[in-house]
Amino acid sequence: MIKLIINGNQIEVEENTTVLKAARELGIEIPTFCDDDRLSKQTSCRLCIVEVEGTDKLLTSCNLEVKEGMVVNTESEKVRIALKINLSLIWAGHPNDCMKCGKSGECKLQDYSFEYDVDAEPIYSVRKEAIAKNATNHFFEIDPDKCILCGKCVRICSEQVGVGALGFKNRGQETYVSFGNDNFEDAGCVSCGSCVSVCPTGALLNKTADKYRNWDVDKVRTTCSYCGVGCQMELVVHKGKIVRVDANEEGSNRGLLCVKGKYAFNFINHRDRLTTPLVRKNGKLVEATWEEAYAKINQKYLEFKGESNSFVGFSSARCTNEENYLFQKMFRQVFKTNNIDHCARL
């Protein structure tokens, strides 16, 4: 174990820990765009700079290992000034679009710019020529103008998803992120949206018809309802409607999802949902109240009650444990039969 001091607080951490992580353990968030525990290091955004006693240069904390007795300052005047300059440089090549941008409210560039007093009017004028948005994917688009080249999308796609559909194109000021061949399908993209999940800005943004602000939503953690992996996710709710699904990093899925979990949620608020019971009358299914529907079922239950073998139930691999439990309980306790099965085999 190694002892060090960060912003006046003493902390003891394991060897080989980075200063960035040690600070996090103390609840001190050092700004960063390109760092992610799950990904290889890129050390390119230069936001995570800190001052270390005994050195003149500011050091990037994401690749700085802790040393015994180290004294670190993450909030010194020197750090703040440097950070502001670094952010201003990024902002100089960025469209001033926060008002319309769907990322507004949970954008790291916006948050840091606010925190470090970056002026909205760019001081530097190095804006590259606009590169057209890539909207080939059905679920999200890439806006190179808003990209800050942190490379997280490129890394998550190749290192975590194992696909490698994204890469950097061109050089210098003209660098941008895109699919190989500029088309998602050609690049083998599986539309999992992991790149969107890690983008700190609005460069990778879901396509959506819903208008909502990120400060005007609720997030509810839950379990994906598609396959047996059981990924943990967050349903983003706006005015009683699911408008987005976010990944959650605490589950076995470590913040990764697939296209179904991430994007196939429209069924929830879909207009085809059944919203009332239906009962067959004169050969046709017509709307009915719950009471009518229950009464009809009860009538048939009473009719066949003596013949328990004439009852069968198809239980559901889609419903919850509690519901499956109740279903078999109903069959065994009420209908007095073990005729329950479900599509486990399909």
Nearer to other proteins among residue 87 and residue 192 (C-beta): 192
Nearer to other proteins among residue 9 and residue 309 (C-beta): 309
Does 176 participate in binding other proteins (rule CB under 8 A)?
A: no
Residue 344 touches which of other proteins, ligand SF4, none (CB < 5 to 8 A by kind)? other proteins
Q: Smallest gap, in angstroms, from Cβ of residue 48 to other proteins?
A: 25
The residue assigned the tokens 């009538």 is: 299
Q: What Rg value do the Cα atoms of the chain yield, rounded?
A: 27
Q: Smallest gap, in angstroms, from Cβ of residue 122 to ligand SF4?
A: 12
C-beta of residue 339 within 8 angstroms of C-beta of residue 309: yes
Does 333 participate in binding other proteins (rule CB under 8 A)?
A: yes
Nearer to other proteins among residue 7 and residue 160 (C-beta): 160
Does 256 participate in binding other proteins (rule CB under 8 A)?
A: yes
Q: Smallest gap, in angstroms, from Cβ of residue 192 to ligand SF4?
A: 4
Report the distance separating Cα 222 and Cα 246, nearest Å: 10
| Residue 209 Rama label (left phi>0; alpha psi -120 to 50; beta) | alpha
Does 190 participate in binding ligand SF4 (rule CB under 6 A)?
A: yes
Cβ neighbours of residue 196 under 8 Å, at least 6 residues apart?
140, 153, 204, 205, 206
> Count residues contacting other proteins (CB under 8 A)?
105
Cβ neighbours of residue 50 under 8 Å, at least 6 residues apart?
19, 23, 30, 58, 59, 60, 61, 64, 72, 73, 74, 79
> Count residues contacting ligand SF4 (CB under 6 A)?
36
Considering only 31, 93, 202, 255, the residue that binds ligand SF4 (CB under 6 A) is 202
Report angle CA 200, 210, 277 to the nearest 5 degrees.
130
Q: Smallest gap, in angstroms, from Cβ of residue 195 to ligand SF4?
A: 3
What DSSP string runs through 157-184?
IIIISS---EEEES-GGG-EEEEGGG-T
What mask of x and - would describe binding to ligand SF4 in positions 113 to 152, judged by CB under 6 A? ---------------------------------x------
Tally the residues of the chain: 346
The residue assigned the tokens 């890129």 is: 42
Nearer to other proteins among residue 96 and residue 309 (C-beta): 309
What mask of x and - would describe binding to ligand SF4 in positions 210 to 229, judged by CB under 6 A? --------------x-xx-x
Does 228 participate in binding other proteins (rule CB under 8 A)?
A: yes
Which residue in 226, 229, 240, 248 sits closest to 269, CA to CA? 240
Considering only 80, 89, 167, 327, the residue that binds other proteins (CB under 8 A) is 327
Nearer to other proteins among residue 91 and residue 140 (C-beta): 140
Does 242 participate in binding ligand SF4 (rule CB under 6 A)?
A: no
Does 165 participate in binding ligand SF4 (rule CB under 6 A)?
A: yes
Give the footprint of ligand SF4 on this chain (CB under 6 A).
Answer: 94, 97-98, 101, 103-104, 107, 109-110, 146, 156-157, 161, 163, 165-166, 189-195, 201-202, 224, 226-227, 229-231, 253, 257-258, 260-261
